[in-house]
């Protein structure tokens, strides 16, 4: 029994370590001095630790501009996503069973559609609307809650609220929008928090949309801007890793800050 | 309470504008020649006969199937394994759960660049630790590397598996314990069968996700190589449309992807349904 | 094949600090008999049962099943079968496979499994439903599956955790009798947990009253009803509960509680020198009425024939025979 526990504990620690390893290598690699010869064998802590790469990278790419653009997109897209997803989730949670089945079915079907099949027609559509090389194609996914997955997350959260609460509010004379605003939303704030963090991570990482729809360098967001560093020589990879760390940090920090609410809302632990 | 239905309209409008309209556009453009400069020109089934004869496309399709065959079982096993290991209320589990999700929130590009470094034959720590060299210059080395990379970004499947595992009532496990079921019997006769319907759904989603998740690493790490070994369908579509500006033909491929996806979904749906009845 | 618990203590540590749920419980379930553990919710009765099953581990004490010390054994090796309050059926398995699960886990040969499953299903009348999934069964049928799953194992002891609480009143009464006769026929030692005193009184060869983790009294139905060892037991068993009247209100000295069951009291003419009071409520319960009589700050309940029901606000006298009186000290323990 206790032996089993020990094995399990070890497995848990090992599992955590495995998933943490890539990030640790990212950070350690970013501290290596560039231009050095290859290490002699496996080195965990690189020789010649330095923070310089975090400055040098700005000389290679206008990371500041990219960060600003990414921030603008996220600032618009995340709240829109949360509201659209929350409304649709509330509609699902309070719909008649036939309507609910239809809406959930639509969400699942939409989740199944490979986005790569939509690249070309969306490109044609945005071009026709004259929106190419603007921020709008990057913000557009927020109109459909970024991904129907977030709609389902809200639907699950609202489904946990006893429906009599909504009925009581309705008897008080509240409109559906007021019921959402005053009853449903306050009772599912952690779900909104979780969706906001996920949506932020999604938009922050969005690589394909700017790749396809943005052509001016000064309008690029971080992920595509980062791509330019791919051409660096291996000896300069630490610079590339420093940029990666800076791009990775915001969503990681947001996720870690929200993870309690996130796990509690999604799996109830 | 169906008066709340109108709150779904913004979402439905978004889906219409960003999914339904483009899907219809793809279905139309698929029958045209369109470079983006001149207006589309109707060419009937020309694109389809070209598609049938397009060896490069079928090769990328085969590569995608190979990717699915390696990556999907790997990702599913990792997600379910992590969920089963970490489902209990214990300090170690609570601490490890966010770690499992962590690689999933790393932006794809940063993640791909990290692996570019990890797998570098001269400087990469993996090369130094395990004596790998030229992983990305060997076709199978590249294929496996990209699949393994993907096995770390399993956050959503992990969360879903964890939620399903936790939804199984504790009493059912206690009944099994009193019935004398050992760990293996409990896993194979209780836990996995009870999770199976959702696992089938996860597998299906992962298969479809495989039509796009490998785009970034294939573009950044291997550029579809070596010898086209990692030219997957999305990368092929991207090149056709945005490097060679054959937007009509790219739409034909997109339409074919829609159809194949619909078929896969349908088959899996039927299987899942039959499976459920049999259980 | 007795089940013997000696000195069982168990503490749970929750958010509000440690909570002693079982306090030195010693209890013997004689071979082939049925002991009902009854108590209010939170008294620790389910925890007691789970300790016997091996689903909880007591902090102190020992558990013996069929002469074997099982305190350190995992649940599967104790040779006990348990029926859960919510039945805990395996949702993905048919009735047949639910019943067979325990045998298959023990690697019993397939032919033997089939035979035993059919026999168990027959015993509880489930034969026509063998291929159904649990969610296609009624509450009563599910309950039978849970019973059959326990029967088929032929365990040394049955553990039943409030098995009737999810059934409607009529089915509950019927199943009560069925379980009891089944248990008598099989002569399997049984530990039965309930919060329902009627179930306890009607089913148990032996009744054990648990409060706050302590056994208050153990005995057969007659004993615990007619000679409760303390005021708690006296009030817990019987509906409506026994009246406990401060002795000074009855003019028989100070400092003790006089206990008389409502059905042992009579309404009489309110003449001088008799205990009398005002009727504050009359509750019809079928053939009888429960009359609430105000005695100063206390209310005394009297069960009377419906035809003799007094009117509200009427003044009535109450009387009882000396032989029907239970005396308790102020802290609740029985005097003589």
Look at residue A45 and tell me whether its pLDDT is greater than 80: no
Which has the closest alpha carbon to B103: B155, B157, B146?
B155
Scanning every residue of chain C, which has its alpha carbon at the shortest distance from the alpha carbon of B185? C105
**Rounded Cα gap, residues C186 and C209, in angstroms:** 25
**Rounded Cα gap, residues B129 and B226, in angstroms:** 23
Q: In degrees to the nearest 10, what's the CA dihedral of C93, C98, C101, C103?
A: -150
Question: What is the full DSSP assignment across A219-266?
Answer: G--HHHHHHGGGGS-GGGHHHHHHHHHHHHHHHHHHHHHHHHHHHHHH
What Å distances lie between residue A163 and A62, C33, C135, C275, C321, CA to CA? 52, 47, 24, 54, 56
Mean pLDDT of B207-213: 80
Report whether A43 contacts A207 (CB < 8 A): no
pLDDT at res. B142:
84
Question: Half-sphere exposure of C302 toward its Cβ, with a 13 Å CA cutoff?
Answer: 28
Which has the closest alpha carbon to C98: C151, C55, C149?
C149
C244 φψ region: left (φ > 0), alpha (ψ -120 to 50), beta (else): beta
Q: Which of A177, A227, A245 sits opposite B220 (nearest CB)?
A: A227
Residue C73 sits at φ, ψ, to 5 deg, of -85, 150
Q: Output the CA torsion sign for C34, C35, C39, C45.
A: negative
Contact B180 C105 (CB under 8 A): yes
Contact B177 C80 (CB under 8 A): no
Instruction: For residue B156, list chain A residues with Cβ-Cβ distance below 8 A.
Output: 149
Q: Which of B99, B113, B216 sits opposite A229 (nearest CB)?
A: B113
Mean pLDDT of A259-264: 78
* Interface test mutation site (partner A, options B47, B106, B124, B224, max chain A beta carbons within 10 A): B106
**Rounded Cα gap, residues A187 and A181, in angstroms:** 10
Which has the closest alpha carbon to B247: B43, B24, B75, B36?
B36
pLDDT band of residue B275 (cuts 50, 70, 90) is low
According to the 3-state scheme, what is the secondary structure of chain B? CHHHHHHHHHHHHHHHHHHHHHHHHHHHHCCEECCCCCCCEECCCHHHHHHHHCHHHHHHHHHHHHHHHHHHHHHHHHHHHHHHHCCCCCHHHHHHHHHHHHHHHCCHHHHHHHHHHHCCCCCCHHHHHHCCCCHHHCHHHHHHHHHHHHCCCCHHHHHHHHHHHHHCCHHHHHHHHHCCCCHHHHHHHHHHHHHHHHHHHHHHHHHHHCCCCCHHHHHHHHCCCCCCCCCCHHHHHHHHHHHCCCHHHHHHHHHHHHHHHHHHHHHHHHHHHHHHHHC
**Rounded Cα gap, residues C212 and C219, in angstroms:** 19
Report whether B33 contacts B46 (CB < 8 A): yes
Instruction: Please list, in sequence order, all residues whose beta carbon lies within 8 angstroms of the beta carbon of residue B196, skipping any fewer than 6 positions away.
Output: B275, B279
**Rounded Cα gap, residues C68 and C156, in angstroms:** 11
Scanning every residue of chain A, which has its alpha carbon at the shortest distance from the alpha carbon of B114? A26
Instruction: For residue B120, list chain A residues with Cβ-Cβ distance below 8 A.
Output: 234, 237
**Rounded Cα gap, residues A73 and A138, in angstroms:** 7
Instruction: For residue B182, list chain C residues with Cβ-Cβ distance below 8 A.
Output: 76, 105
Average pLDDT, chain A: 87
Look at residue B190 and tell me whether its pLDDT is greater than 60: yes
* Interface test mutation site (partner C, options B89, B165, B167, B178, max chain C beta carbons within 10 A): B178
Instruction: Please list, in sequence order, all residues whose beta carbon lies within 8 angstroms of the beta carbon of residue A20, skipping any fewer than 6 positions away.
Output: B99, B102
B128–chain A nearest CA distance, Å: 5
B76–chain A nearest CA distance, Å: 15
**Rounded Cα gap, residues C69 and C55, in angstroms:** 16
Any C CB within 8 A of B200 CB:
no
Measure the N-to-C terminal CA separation of chain A; round to a whole number of Å: 24
**Rounded Cα gap, residues C81 and C149, in angstroms:** 8
Report whether B123 contacts A41 (CB < 8 A): no
Contact A112 B113 (CB under 8 A): no
Mean pLDDT of A57-62: 84
Q: How many CB pairs under 8 A join A and B?
A: 302
Mean pLDDT of B266-277: 68
Contact C105 B169 (CB under 8 A): no
Q: How many CB atoms lie within 10 A of CB C238?
A: 16
* Interface test mutation site (partner C, options B175, B176, B193, B197, max chain C beta carbons within 10 A): B175
Contact B8 A103 (CB under 8 A): yes
Q: Which chains touch B (3 or more CB pairs under 8 A)?
A: A, C
Look at residue B223 and tell me whether its pLDDT is greater than 90: no
* Burial bucket for residue A10 (CB in 10 Å: 0-12, 13-18, 19+): exposed
Helices (H), chain A: 2-30, 53-60, 63-94, 97-112, 119-128, 136-139, 148-159, 163-171, 176-179, 185-187, 189-205, 208-213, 222-227, 237-267
Q: How many CB pairs under 8 A join B and C?
A: 69
Q: Which of C88, C104, C106 sits opposite B172 (nearest CB)?
A: C88
pTM of structure: 0.84
DSSP strands (E only) in chain C? 3-14, 17-29, 34-38, 60-65, 68-69, 80-83, 157-161, 189-194, 206-211, 214-219, 243-246, 256-260, 265-268, 276-285, 288-295, 298-305, 315-320, 326-329
pLDDT > 70 in chain B, percent: 93
Any C CB within 8 A of B182 CB:
yes
Mean pLDDT of B4-21: 93
Contact A12 B96 (CB under 8 A): yes
Q: Which of B4, B163, B261 sits opposite A90 (nearest CB)?
A: B4
pLDDT at res. B262:
86
Report whether B198 contacts B161 (CB < 8 A): yes
Q: Which of C174 and A231 is assigned the larger pLDDT?
A: C174
Report whether C37 contacts C193 (CB < 8 A): yes
User: Coil, strand or helix: which one is C207?
Assistant: strand
Look at residue A43 and tell me whether its pLDDT is greater than 70: no
The domains located in chain A, with CATH, are 61-232 (1.10.3720.10)
Which has the closest alpha carbon to B248: B100, B39, B76, B10?
B39
* Interface test mutation site (partner B, options C49, C53, C93, C101, max chain B beta carbons within 10 A): C101
**Rounded Cα gap, residues C16 and C13, in angstroms:** 8
pLDDT > 90 in chain B, percent: 32
Look at residue A231 and tell me whether its pLDDT is greater than 70: yes
A146 φψ region: left (φ > 0), alpha (ψ -120 to 50), beta (else): left
Contact B175 C80 (CB under 8 A): no
| Cα diameter, chain B | 74
**Rounded Cα gap, residues C283 and C304, in angstroms:** 10
Cis (ω within 30 of 0) for the bond into C240?
yes
Report whether B123 contacts A46 (CB < 8 A): no
Q: What is the CA radius of gyration of chain C?
A: 24
What is the domain class of B31-278 according to CATH? Answer: mainly alpha
Contact C101 B171 (CB under 8 A): no
Contact C76 B179 (CB under 8 A): yes
Any C CB within 8 A of B39 CB:
no
pLDDT at res. C131:
94
Q: Output the CA torsion sign for C147, C149, C154, C160.
A: negative
pLDDT at res. A191:
86
**Rounded Cα gap, residues C226 and B134, in angstroms:** 89
CA C132 from chain center: how many Å? Answer: 32
Scanning every residue of chain B, which has its alpha carbon at the shortest distance from the alpha carbon of A45? B125
Q: Output the CA torsion sign for C228, C233, C236, C241.
A: positive
Contact B261 A244 (CB under 8 A): no
pLDDT at res. B269:
73
Q: How many CB atoms lie within 10 A of CB B38?
A: 8
CA C16 from chain center: how many Å? Answer: 28
* Burial bucket for residue A173 (CB in 10 Å: 0-12, 13-18, 19+): exposed
Instruction: For residue C82, list chain B residues with Cβ-Cβ distance below 8 A.
Output: 174-175, 178
Scanning every residue of chain C, which has its alpha carbon at the shortest distance from the alpha carbon of B189? C101
Contact A252 B107 (CB under 8 A): no
Look at residue A161 and tell me whether its pLDDT is greater than 80: yes
Contact B7 A96 (CB under 8 A): no
pLDDT at res. C50:
95
Report whether C210 contacts C45 (CB < 8 A): yes
Which tokens sit at B228? 């086209």
DSSP strands (E only) in C30-169? 34-38, 60-65, 68-69, 80-83, 157-161
Instruction: For residue B151, list chain A residues with Cβ-Cβ distance below 8 A.
Output: none
pLDDT band of residue A78 (cuts 50, 70, 90) is very high
List, for residues B163-182, the tens digit of each pLDDT value.
Answer: 889 889 999 999 999 999 98
List, for residues A2-39, the tens digit of each pLDDT value.
Answer: 677 788 888 888 888 889 988 998 998 888 887 777 66
* Interface test mutation site (partner B, options A120, A130, A182, A206, max chain B beta carbons within 10 A): A120
Q: Which chains touch A (3 or more CB pairs under 8 A)?
A: B
Instruction: Please list, in sequence order, all residues whose beta carbon lies within 8 angstroms of the beta carbon of residue A262, skipping any fewer than 6 positions away.
Output: A193, A194, A197, A198, A255
Given the structure tokens 């509906």, which residue do they identify?
Answer: C239
Report whether B26 contacts B251 (CB < 8 A): yes
Contact A112 B108 (CB under 8 A): no
Element of type H or E holding A131: none
Bridge pairing between strands C256-260 and C326-329: antiparallel
* Burial bucket for residue C287 (CB in 10 Å: 0-12, 13-18, 19+): exposed
Going edge to edge, which strands form the sheet with C256-260?
C243-246, C256-260, C326-329
Look at residue B277 and tell me whether its pLDDT is greater than 50: no
A129–chain B nearest CA distance, Å: 12
How confident is the prediction along chain C (336 residues), in pLDDT tens digits per residue?
Answer: 899 999 999 999 878 888 999 999 999 999 999 999 999 998 999 999 999 999 999 999 999 998 899 999 999 999 999 999 999 999 999 999 999 999 999 999 999 999 999 999 998 999 899 999 999 999 999 999 999 999 999 999 999 999 999 889 889 999 999 999 999 999 999 999 999 999 999 999 999 999 999 999 999 999 999 999 999 999 999 989 999 998 888 777 778 899 999 999 999 988 877 888 999 999 999 889 999 999 888 899 999 999 888 999 999 999 999 889 999 998 888 987
Name which of B185-189, B263-267, C275-279 the model is least confident about.
B263-267
Instruction: For residue B183, list chain C residues with Cβ-Cβ distance below 8 A.
Output: none
Instruction: For residue C104, list chain B residues with Cβ-Cβ distance below 8 A.
Output: 185, 189
| ipTM > 0.85 (yes/no) | yes
What Å distances lie between residue B1 and A103, A134, A168, B129, CA to CA? 15, 40, 11, 61
Look at residue A50 and tell me whether its pLDDT is greater than 90: no
Q: Which chains touch C (3 or more CB pairs under 8 A)?
A: B
Report whether A199 contacts A150 (CB < 8 A): yes
Which tokens sit at B277? 């009845």
* Interface test mutation site (partner A, options B7, B85, B160, max chain A beta carbons within 10 A): B7
pLDDT at res. B279:
38
């Amino acid at each position: 029994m206790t032996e089993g526990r020990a094995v399990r504990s070890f497995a848990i620690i090992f599992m955590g370590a495995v998933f943490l390893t890539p990030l640790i290598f990212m950070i350690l690699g970013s501290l290596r001095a560039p231009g050095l010869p290859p290490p002699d064998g496996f080195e965990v802590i690189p020789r010649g630790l330095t923070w310089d790469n975090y400055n040098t990278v700005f000389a290679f790419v206008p990371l500041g501009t990219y960060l600003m653009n990414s921030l603008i997109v996220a600032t618009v897209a995340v709240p829109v996503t949360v509201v659209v997803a929350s409304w649709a989730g509330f509609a699902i949670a309070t719909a008649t069973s036939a309507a609910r089945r239809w809406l959930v079915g639509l969400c699942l079907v939409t989740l199944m559609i490979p986005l790569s099949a939509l690249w070309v027609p969306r490109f044609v559509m945005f071009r026709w609307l004259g929106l190419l090389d603007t921020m709008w194609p990057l913000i557009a996914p927020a109109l459909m809650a970024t991904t129907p997955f977030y709609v389902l997350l809200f639907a699950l959260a609202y489904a946990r609220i006893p429906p009599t609460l909504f009925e009581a509010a309705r008897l008080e004379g509240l409109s559906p929008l007021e019921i959402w605003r005053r009853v449903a939303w306050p009772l599912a704030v952690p779900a909104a928090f979780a969706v906001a963090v996920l949506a932020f991570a999604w938009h922050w990482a969005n690589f394909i949309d700017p790749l396809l729809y943005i052509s001016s360098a000064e309008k690029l967001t971080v992920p595509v801007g980062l791509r330019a560093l791919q051409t660096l020589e291996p000896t300069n990879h630490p610079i590339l890793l420093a940029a990666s760390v800076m791009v990775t940090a915001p969503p990681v920090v947001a996720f870690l800050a929200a993870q309690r609410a996130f796990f509690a809302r999604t799996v109830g632990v | 309470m169906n008066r709340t239905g109108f709150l779904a309209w913004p979402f439905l409008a978004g889906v219409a504008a960003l999914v339904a309209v483009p899907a219809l556009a793809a279905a139309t453009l698929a029958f045209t020649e369109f470079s983006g400069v001149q207006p589309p020109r109707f060419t009937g089934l020309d694109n389809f006969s070209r598609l049938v004869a397009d060896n490069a496309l079928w090769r990328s399709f085969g590569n995608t199937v190979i990717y699915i065959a390696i990556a999907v079982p790997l990702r599913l096993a990792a997600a379910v394994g992590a969920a089963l290991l970490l489902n209990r209320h214990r300090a170690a589990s609570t601490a490890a759960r966010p770690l499992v999700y962590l690689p999933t929130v790393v932006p794809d590009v940063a993640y791909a660049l990290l692996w570019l470094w990890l797998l570098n034959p001269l400087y990469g720590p993996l090369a130094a630790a395990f004596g790998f060299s030229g992983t990305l210059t060997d076709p199978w080395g590249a294929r496996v590397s990209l699949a393994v990379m993907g096995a770390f970004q399993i956050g959503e499947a992990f969360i879903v598996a964890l939620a399903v595992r936790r939804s199984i009532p504790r009493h059912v496990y206690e009944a099994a314990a009193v019935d004398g079921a050992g760990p293996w019997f409990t896993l194979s006769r209780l836990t996995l069968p009870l999770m199976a319907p959702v696992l089938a759904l996860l597998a299906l989603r992962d298969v479809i996700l495989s039509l796009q998740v490998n785009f970034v690493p294939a573009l950044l790490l291997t550029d579809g190589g070596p010898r086209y070994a990692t030219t997957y369908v999305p990368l092929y579509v991207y090149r056709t449309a945005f490097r060679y500006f054959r937007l009509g033909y790219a739409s034909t491929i997109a339409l074919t992807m829609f159809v194949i996806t619909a078929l896969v979904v349908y088959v899996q749906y039927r299987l899942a349904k039959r499976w459920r009845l049999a259980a | 094949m007795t089940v013997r618990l000696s000195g069982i203590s168990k503490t749970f540590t929750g958010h509000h600090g440690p909570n002693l749920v079982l306090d030195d419980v010693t209890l013997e379930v004689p071979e082939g008999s049925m002991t009902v553990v009854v108590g209010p919710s939170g008294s620790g009765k389910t925890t007691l049962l789970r300790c016997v099953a091996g689903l909880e581990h007591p902090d102190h004490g020992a558990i013996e099943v069929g002469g074997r010390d099982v305190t350190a054994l995992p649940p599967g090796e104790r040779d006990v079968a348990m029926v859960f309050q919510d039945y805990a059926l395996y949702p993905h398995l048919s009735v047949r496979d639910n019943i067979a699960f325990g045998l298959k886990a023990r690697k019993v040969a397939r032919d033997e499994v089939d035979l035993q499953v059919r026999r168990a299903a027959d015993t509880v009348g489930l034969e026509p439903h063998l291929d159904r999934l649990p969610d296609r069964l009624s509450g009563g049928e599910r309950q039978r599956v849970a019973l059959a799953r326990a029967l088929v194992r032929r365990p040394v002891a049955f553990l039943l955790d409030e098995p009737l609480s999810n059934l409607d009143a009529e089915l509950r009464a019927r199943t009560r009798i069925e379980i009891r006769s089944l248990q008598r026929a099989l002569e399997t030692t049984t530990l039965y947990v309930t919060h329902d005193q009627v179930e306890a009184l009607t089913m148990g060869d032996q009744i054990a009253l648990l409060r706050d983790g302590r056994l208050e009294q153990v005995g057969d139905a007659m004993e615990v009803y007619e000679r409760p060892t303390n005021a708690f037991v006296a009030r817990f068993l019987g509906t409506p509960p026994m009246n406990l009247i401060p002795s000074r209100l009855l003019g028989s000295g100070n400092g003790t509680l006089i206990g008389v069951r409502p059905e042992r009291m009579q309404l009489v003419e309110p003449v001088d020198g008799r205990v009398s009071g005002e009727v504050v409520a009359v509750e019809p319960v079928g053939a009888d009425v429960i009359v609430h009589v105000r005695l100063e700050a206390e209310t005394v309940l009297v069960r009377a024939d419906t035809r003799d029901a007094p009117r509200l606000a009427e003044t009535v006298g109450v009387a009882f025979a000396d032989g029907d009186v239970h005396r308790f000290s102020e802290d609740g323990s029985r005097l003589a």
